Amino acid sequence: MITPLPIDVPEAPAPAAPGRTARGYWQEASERLRRNRIGVASGLVLLFFVLVAITSPLLAALFTQADPRHIDLLNTFLPPLSPHHILGTDDLGRDELTRMLYGAQVSMGIGFLSVGVALTVGAAVGLVAGYYGGLIDGLLMRFVDMILAVPAIFLFILMSILFKPNTITLALIIASVGWGSIARLVRGEVLSVRTREFMVATRSLGASDAGLILRHLLPNVLHVLIVFGSLYLGQVVLIEAALDFLGLGISPATPSWGNMLTNSETFFFHSSWLVIWPGVTIFVTVLAANLFGNAIRDAFDPRLR
Amino acid sequence: MSSPLLEVRDLRTQFTTREGVVKAVDGVSFELHAGETLGIVGESGCGKSVTALSIMRLVPRPGRIVGGQVLFEGRDLAKLSDAQMQEVRGESIAMIFQDPMTSLNPVFRVGWQVSEPLLLHRALPQAKALGEATTMLGRVGIPSPEARARDYPHHFSGGMRQRAMIAMGLTTTPPVLIADEPTTALDVTIQAQILDLLRNANREFGTATILITHNLGVVAGMCERVMVMYAGRIVESGPTVDVFAHPKHPYTWSLLRSIPRLDAERHEPLKPIEGMPPDLSALPAGCAFHPRCPFKIERCSRDVPALNRVGESQLAACWVTQSGVELKDA
């Protein structure tokens, strides 16, 4: 059925290599990521903590056979490698390993939930502000400026007092500040993408505003979201631990790495492992998240190529 | 004569800037008939592209259509709702842009993008739309279209991207195609191929084409009728043959003398048009061309000439030729 238009098409140059597959931005970026050894290693560390968080009840049942809240006042401050308590016990005789496993749920849960919410809200605000410009842009961005102008810790403290923190509210509290920076970044990227001719060209094909924003702008700013999201994960874990430490986070009955640290500060010289386990774990998680974020940025940010 | 497919009546588009109101398009009227190729020529900044964008209602801010009608098959596009206008764009009128390097979205495969008008207007299933897009890529002369449809824009050369843009415009076989300087960013050999392609599309699909260019040679080879624009207005229009053989506006006349000719005497110097196009926010009184015009008479700096019939089938907005004077070398 194909009737070629009668045009002299000069002989096409032979394809560079037979069987050459078209590789897009995403394939090239993920390949660059795979070649980055530190990036892969830190990604695996994060993956490990995620898996621990997901399977913590199962792991606890398999390895410690203990309840994280089970108080055993006859066995307080047992050192690591004690029988049945590989990482020792705390001041109330609770099994430290079990509490660490369950603590991963809080840190990872809040981390990913908070990143997810902040990215979604930030991207939506940034896309709308950047695409429509004018008054909408002005209002939205001044609101962002306002949020970012107040020191974040005060907002966290204020909201932790207003809302009783549990895993979900704490994630939302942290995200309620984080979306501002994302909105700014996305808006900036949209402003530069918006002026490119394909935006007008796509409108000339009959695309609607929503179609343009979701199908054409969003994929063009996705790299910003991926990079910022992975760097932000480390920050969230740290913020969450800090809020727990200040007593503004998760209530001490639910084990989290942050409140385990608070709880044990008074015993530092007496039973240092109670500080070391959560402290080192938070450190490793945040370091892994930052290194992974850097690797992602190296792989995905088109300006670094 | 049948009624025109597209009729523009007294179109006015203005940009309100801090320096004043820029009348980018100032009372432009013309008709486009089915299957016809109409050329719009003029210097940079004379309102060619804004005319095209006004027809599509894609004038960027702070530009605004302040008056006139754009009748497509009798419907005034200027009065349609945004949603109705989205139906017209790409389905009834498609547009090809100047810079093929940035006209394709870099993150999508070419085949998908070419199929987008079909997805938007025909609600075809993705696979079927992609199939049609691939067929169209083949028809615009992309070799091995099945493989190329899976490429990303940065795998394409400038000429191939412009072919892809044309394929995108033609997938829905719109009755009107507006090509805004489609060859300006391409090198000369590719230019010829792209123009061939547009000519064949016009012949095969019966697509009426508005070709915007500043290249008079392109107009001579492509267009049955030509419109010359200066400072946001049409200064001369008519069949290409007549306009080129007997220009009736001094601007057209000067433009034609400023391009090299194969049959010119050797060493004959080109004659540029003296001066610069006027500032559109501060047009001179009377005819906008009079400060640069070698034929100007006293009236030219006083009254704005209307676009009136001069000679057989040409219209020109010039007091000099309307009074019957021939344009000749001094």
The pLDDT score that the predictor gives to residue B15 is: 92
The single-letter code of the amino acid at A301 is: D
Do β-strands B208-213 and B176-180 pair in parallel, antiparallel, or remain unpaired? parallel
State the smallest CA–CA distance between residue B289 and chain A in angstroms: 32
Q: Token match 């279209």: residue?
A: B145
The answer to whether residue B1 scores a pLDDT higher than 80 is: no
DSSP 8-state class, residue B24 = E
Residue pair A42/A292 in contact by the 8 Å Cβ criterion: yes
Nearest to B71 by CA among B79, B83, B82, B59: B79
pLDDT reading at B162 higher than 60: yes
**CA angle A116–A120–A122, rounded 5-degree value:** 115
Find residues 124-163 of chain B whose CB sits inside 8 Å of chain A: 135, 138-141, 143-144, 147, 150-152, 155
* CA-wise closest residue to A217 among B253, B176, B2, B106: B106
At residue A82, the 3 state secondary structure works out as: strand
**B25 strand-pairing partners:** B13
- Domains for chain A: give ranges and CATH numbers: 103-304 (1.10.3720.10)
Residues with Cβ < 8 Å from B170, sequence gap 6 or more?
Answer: B94, B136, B139, B140, B177, B201, B205, B207
Q: How far is B130 from chain A (nearest CA, A)?
A: 15
Shortest CA gap B139–chain A (Å): 5
Among chain A, residues having any CB pair with chain B shorter than 8 Å are 1-10, 12, 15, 21-22, 24-25, 133-134, 196-198, 200-208, 211, 216, 219-220, 222
Alpha-carbon radius of gyration of chain B: 21
Are A204 and B121 within 8 A, CB to CB?
no
Q: Which of A5, A27, A224 to mutate to test the interface with B (most CBs of B within 10 A)?
A: A5
Residue positions counted in chain B: 330
Strand order of the sheet with strand B6-17? Answer: B20-32, B6-17, B63-72, B75-76
**The pLDDT value given to residue B100:** 83
Q: Which residues of A touch B117 (CB under 8 A)?
A: 205-206
Q: Is the pLDDT of residue A29 over 50?
A: yes
The partner residues of B179 in beta bridges, in order of sequence, read B96, B211
For residues B85 and B166, the answer to whether their CB atoms sit within 8 Å is no
Does A188 have pLDDT greater than 90? yes
- ipTM score of complex: 0.83
Q: Which fold has domain B6-223?
A: Rossmann fold (3.40.50)
pLDDT score of B51 more than 90: yes
Q: Which residues of A touch B89 (CB under 8 A)?
A: 203-206
Closest C-alpha to A279, from A241, A233, A235: A241
- Asked if the C-beta of B94 comes within 8 angstroms of chain A's C-beta atoms, the answer is yes
Chain A contact for B116 (CB, 8 A cutoff): yes
Across the interface, of B60, B155, B168, the residue whose CB is closest to A205 is B168
For the stretch B175-225, pLDDT in tens is 999 999 888 878 888 888 888 888 988 888 889 999 999 888 889 988 999
Shortest distance between the Cα of A6 and any Cα of chain B, in A, equals 8
Specify the DSSP element, H or E, that contains A54.
helix A37-59
Percentage of chain A lying above the pLDDT 90 cut: 35
Kindly indicate the confidence band of residue A11, based on its pLDDT and cuts at 50, 70 and 90: very low
CA A110, distance to chain mean position in Å, is 9
Q: What is the pLDDT of residue B66?
A: 92
State the virtual CA torsion across A171, A177, A183, A188 in degrees, nearest 10: -130
Give the start-to-end residue ranges of the domains of chain B: 6-223, 230-261+269-322
- What is the Cα Rg of chain A in Å? 25
What residue in A sits closest to B178 (Cα-Cα)?
A204
The DSSP element (H or E) to which B31 belongs, if any, is strand B20-32
Residues of B in contact with A196 (CB under 8 A): 102
For chain B, percent of residues with pLDDT exceeding 90: 40
Q: How confident is the model at residue A15 (pLDDT cuts 50, 70, 90)?
A: very low
